């Protein structure tokens, strides 16, 4: 087989849901890396090149690309809301995820999962001290920090899930760190805080405890006094929709749209020459879900003028075709 052909065979293209399921079954024993991509996004094309390089370095790993909008059943099943997104599978189960075009991060994840969790010994002369500094920074990264298995949107153990539910129920503002994403932090934090299990909750860098302690604090009504409260969502949305006279809530930002509809609406707005600000709903799940209810509009992008919803892409196209878009954007209508 010629080198070019071998290269082409390295990354498999999947075009249907049954083909994807079949592949999951066939490649269950190895690591499977799936790139959800779109041909209109330059960052995806670039990441396909990265995948081809990784495929040469890791012949034992299976690399697959799947056009997200062409196979919606698979994209919806795995909650793919932007491109590029990478999912890693082992034994037909999803074990990791990466959103965005981060080549170094993808390389790290492939290396880590391909070697099945065996970590090379550290060559650093003071690894302990460096780790200690890192853990101190991480525990102080937000007023309230949760170290958990998975993410608040996708907890990967029952205790982490319960902890997130309690914090959300009490409207507590917290940031989180997925200990599955970093084995060094996962092991190091146990020693650092002298606490052997996860999840762990920190306030102002101090360990409060695990799930049992949080449940006790909740029962004794002390939880609300210890943890910082999040501003009420409705207030936040009101401030955000009024942040600029023309506000666009979209997937991605002005520089890089992460869905076809957002890309089209940017092109229309740019053609008007009107100043506008954007908010990336992929960066904030609370805003993403809350704004749908707040504005009674279920999809994105959403365009606001002076805090009032104008509509989505179809309405903006219609206004443009009727010559009404500019007066609307200037607040004259």
Q: How many CB atoms lie within 10 A of CB 116?
A: 8
Q: So what's the pLDDT on residue 122?
A: 38
- Per residue in 251-268, pLDDT (tens digit) is 999 999 999 999 999 999
Beta bridge partners of 66: 14, 36
The average pLDDT across 183-197 equals 91
Kindly state the percentage of the chain with pLDDT values over 90. 54
Q: Classify residue 328 by burial, with Cβ atoms within 10 Å: 0-12, 13-18, 19+.
A: buried
* pTM, full prediction: 0.39
- Is residue 8 scored above 70 in pLDDT? no
Q: pLDDT band for position 230 (50/70/90)? A: low
The average pLDDT across 120-135 equals 60
Spell out the long-range contacts of 114-120 with Cβ–Cβ below 8 A and sequence spacing 24 or more: 114/31, 114/58, 114/60, 114/61, 117/183, 119/183, 119/184
Distance set, CA 7 to CA 4, 52, 126 (Å): 5, 7, 41
Angle (CA) 193 195 199, round 5°: 100
Radius of gyration of the chain (CA): 23
Q: pLDDT band for position 333 (50/70/90)? A: low
Q: So what's the pLDDT on residue 325?
A: 96
Mean of per-residue pLDDT scores for the chain: 87
The average pLDDT across 222-239 equals 82
Q: So what's the pLDDT on residue 265?
A: 96
- Is residue 34 scored above 90 in pLDDT? yes
Q: How many CB atoms lie within 10 A of CB 143?
A: 15
Of residues 248 and 150, more confidence is placed in: 248
* Tokens encoding 247: 């506000």
Q: So what's the pLDDT on residue 116?
A: 61
Strand, helix or coil for residue 220: coil
- Is residue 311 scored above 70 in pLDDT? yes
| 132: nearest Cα among 175, 183, 191 | 191
Q: So what's the pLDDT on residue 25?
A: 87
Query: Residue 67 in contact with residue 37, Cβ under 8 Å?
Result: yes
Return d(Cα 166, Cα 157) in angstroms, integer. 15
The average pLDDT across 74-94 equals 90
- Is residue 70 scored above 70 in pLDDT? yes
The average pLDDT across 91-115 equals 88
Locate all alpha helices (DSSP H) within the chain, ordered by sequence: 3-10, 17-26, 42-57, 72-77, 103-114, 127-139, 158-169, 183-193, 211-219, 223-226, 233-241, 260-272, 285-295, 313-321, 325-329
- Is residue 299 scored above 70 in pLDDT? yes
């Amino acid at each position: 087989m010629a080198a070019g052909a071998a290269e082409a065979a390295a990354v498999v293209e999947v075009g249907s849901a049954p083909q994807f399921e079949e592949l999951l079954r066939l490649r269950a024993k190895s690591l499977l890396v799936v790139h959800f991509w779109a041909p209109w996004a330059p960052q995806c094309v670039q990441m396909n090149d990265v995948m081809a390089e990784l495929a040469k370095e890791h012949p034992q790993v299976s690399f697959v690309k799947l056009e997200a909008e062409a196979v919606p059943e698979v994209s919806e099943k795995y909650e793919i809301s932007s491109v590029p997104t990478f999912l890693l599978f082992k034994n037909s189960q999803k074990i990791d995820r990466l959103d965005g075009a981060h080549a170094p991060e993808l390389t790290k994840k492939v290396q880590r999962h391909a070697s099945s969790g065996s970590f090379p010994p550290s060559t650093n002369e003071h690894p302990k001290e460096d780790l200690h500094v890192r853990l101190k920074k991480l525990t102080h990264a937000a007023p309230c920090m949760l170290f958990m298995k998975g993410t608040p949107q996708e907890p990967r153990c029952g205790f982490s899930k319960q902890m997130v539910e309690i914090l959300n129920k009490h409207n507590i503002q917290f940031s989180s760190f997925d200990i599955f994403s970093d084995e060094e932090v996962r092991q190091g934090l146990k020693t650092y805080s002298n606490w052997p299990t996860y999840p762990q909750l920190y306030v102002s860098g101090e360990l409060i405890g695990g799930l049992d302690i949080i449940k006790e604090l909740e029962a004794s009504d002390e939880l609300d006094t210890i943890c910082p409260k999040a501003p009420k969502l409705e207030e936040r949305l009101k401030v955000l929709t009024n942040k600029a006279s023309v506000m666009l809530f979209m997937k991605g930002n002005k520089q890089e749209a992460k869905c076809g509809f957002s890309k089209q609406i940017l092109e229309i707005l740019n053609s008007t020459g009107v100043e506008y600000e954007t908010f990336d709903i992929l960066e904030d799940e609370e805003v993403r879900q809350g704004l749908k209810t707040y504005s009674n509009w279920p999809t994105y992008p959403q365009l606001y003028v002076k805090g009032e919803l104008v509509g989505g892409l179809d309405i903006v196209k219609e206004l443009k075709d009727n010559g009404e878009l500019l007066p609307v954007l200037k607040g004259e209508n």
